[in-house]
Amino acid sequence: MRVAVAGATGRTGGEVAREAAKRGHEVVSLSRTPEGDQHDIADLPAVLAEADALVDFTVPEATVEHAAAAADAGVPLVVGTTGFDEDGLAALRTAAEQTPVLKASNFAKGVQALRRVVRAGVAALPDYDVEVTETHHSGKRDAPSGTALTLLEDIEETRSDALERTYGREGTHERAPEEIGVHVRRAGTVRGEHEVLLAGDDEVLTLTHRAESRRVFAAGAVDAAEQLAGRDPGFYDFSEVL
């Protein structure tokens, strides 16, 4: 396959380019400031005319533009970028009317398993307090992480009572039963850690995933690109493609 990578100079896009090349794919690296054999992101439409997939790990405002180009070219799009607002998500859905689009807040297979385990845990312990904590490197822009937001949606869909997200805490008041605590830490080079804590009377269950390198995200994103080839236009879920 010929795989175009937007954000190939970045932390995660760079891993995607290496992973795709390792699997024998032809990689076209895109950058706003191209060097060597990289292509200028401004030439994306021309690159897409000869590409089998576009993998994007950039920033939401750029991804939205790249999605429109992928839709015009009918090239499958894998989106790893996180932090979209409603308009950004709507733009991705519009692109999905013309080409296959797969967006995942986390391409680690372990996180897909974590999602299932969290749903099962929350269903089994319906009246337990729930707290979600995520930790990422100091360069991460969006908070809470896209993965934490996905886990929160999973928990909220599983619990029958209406939970209220509480971001951090300070002051002097007790925890309300409907609260779901959300805690964000930014430090050092941490690749990504997510913990869901369920606590009842005299017991605590913690479910944790830790990415130990960005290669897990890259591997999942390249899997997704391979799986999208030949599919109909539409908005795909990573777990469904796995």
Contact between 105 and ligand NAP (CB under 6 A)?
yes
Site for ligand NAP in 200-229 (CB under 6 A): 217
Asked if 33 interacts with ligand NAP (CB under 6 A), we say: yes
Active-site residue, 209 included: no
For ligand NAP, the binding residue among 19, 53, 81, 225 (CB under 6 A) is 81
Whether 173 is a known active-site residue: answer no
Q: What single string gives the DSSP state of each residue in 154-200?
A: HHHHH-SSPPEEEES--SS-PPPTTEEEEEEEE-TT---EEEEEEEE
Q: Is 12 in the site for ligand NAP (CB under 6 A)?
A: yes
Span near ligand NAP by CB under 6 A; candidates 29-37, 160-168, 182-190, 199-207: 29-37
Parallel/antiparallel/unpaired status of strands 203-210 and 193-200: antiparallel
Min dist CB 41 to ligand NAP, Å, is 5
Residue from 3, 10, 182, 236 in contact with ligand NAP (CB under 6 A): 10
Tokens linked to 14: 């760079």
Give the Cα-Cα-Cα angle 13, 19, 20 (nearest 5 degrees): 90
Is 5:29 a contact under the CB 8 Å cutoff?
Answer: yes
| 120 Cβ contact partners less than 8 Å away, ≥ 6 residues apart | none
Q: Which two tokens stand for residue 222?
A: 């390249």
Does residue 100 bind ligand NAP (CB under 6 A)?
A: no
Catalytically annotated residue among 109, 137, 140, 183: 140
**Residues within the interface to ligand NAP (CB under 6 A):** 7, 9-13, 31-33, 41, 57-59, 61-62, 80-83, 104-107, 142, 217
